[in-house]
Amino acid sequence: MIRLLDFVFAFFGLLVGFPFLVILFVIGLFDTGSPIFRQERVGRNKKPFTLVKFRTMSKDTASVASHLASSASITKFGHFLRKTKLDELPQLWNVLKGEMSLVGPRPGLFNQEELTQAREAQNVFDVRPGITGLAQVNEIDMSTPELLAKTDREMIDSLNVGNYFKYIFMTVAGKGSGDRVKP
């Protein structure tokens, strides 16, 4: 049921939001010259996939988790995108392709070994990663791998259609602070 909801919402989100996505893309061209950010992430069953987002940091920023990046790397437009969570919209493509879900554990990087180990211990990789979830609406990020993996497992065990909509609504309503970066 959730995969069907993911597909329907991603399809119509991309279709209806296309003009808005184009506007953000064009503004991003002026901001960084390369508005789309692609990065290999850890997917379901630890298979790699390429996550797509709007770029919020300068192009020369090191490929590290957001909590390890410097806030000086975030562009002016990037601050706006992160604050409004609009940088996540291109991930609807990942959802449509079946690489992600709207709700699930945020996909980590392969170089985040501590997080990967904590998630393996909790069997978090049994499900598709998501755009939002319990950890995100409770402001738990990848800087606390054990807590994040435990929270991801809690979400997986209790995920139903009601909680699916709850986490989406909470995210759209502004709950959670998004990816944190060093000041």
26-49, pLDDT tens digit by residue? Answer: 999 999 889 999 999 999 999 999
* Residue 137, H or E segment: helix 134-137
Torsion 153-50-25-18 (CA) sign: negative
89-136, pLDDT tens digit by residue? Answer: 999 999 999 999 999 999 999 999 999 999 999 999 999 999 999 999
Torsion 10-124-147-144 (CA) sign: negative
- Determine contact, residues 49/40, Cβ cutoff 8 Å: yes
- Determine contact, residues 108/116, Cβ cutoff 8 Å: yes
**Alpha carbons 125 and 47: distance in angstroms, whole number:** 9
| 3-class SS shares of the chain: helix, strand, coil, % to 5 | 55, 15, 30
R_g of the chain computed on alpha carbons? 15
* Listed residue (97, 18, 82) closest to 51, CA to CA: 97
Give 181's pLDDT tier (boundaries 50, 70, 90).
Answer: very low
Q: What is the pLDDT of residue 61?
A: 66
Torsion of CA 112, 48, 11, 101, to 10 degrees: -50
The region, left, alpha or beta by phi > 0 then psi within -120 to 50, assigned to residue 162 is alpha
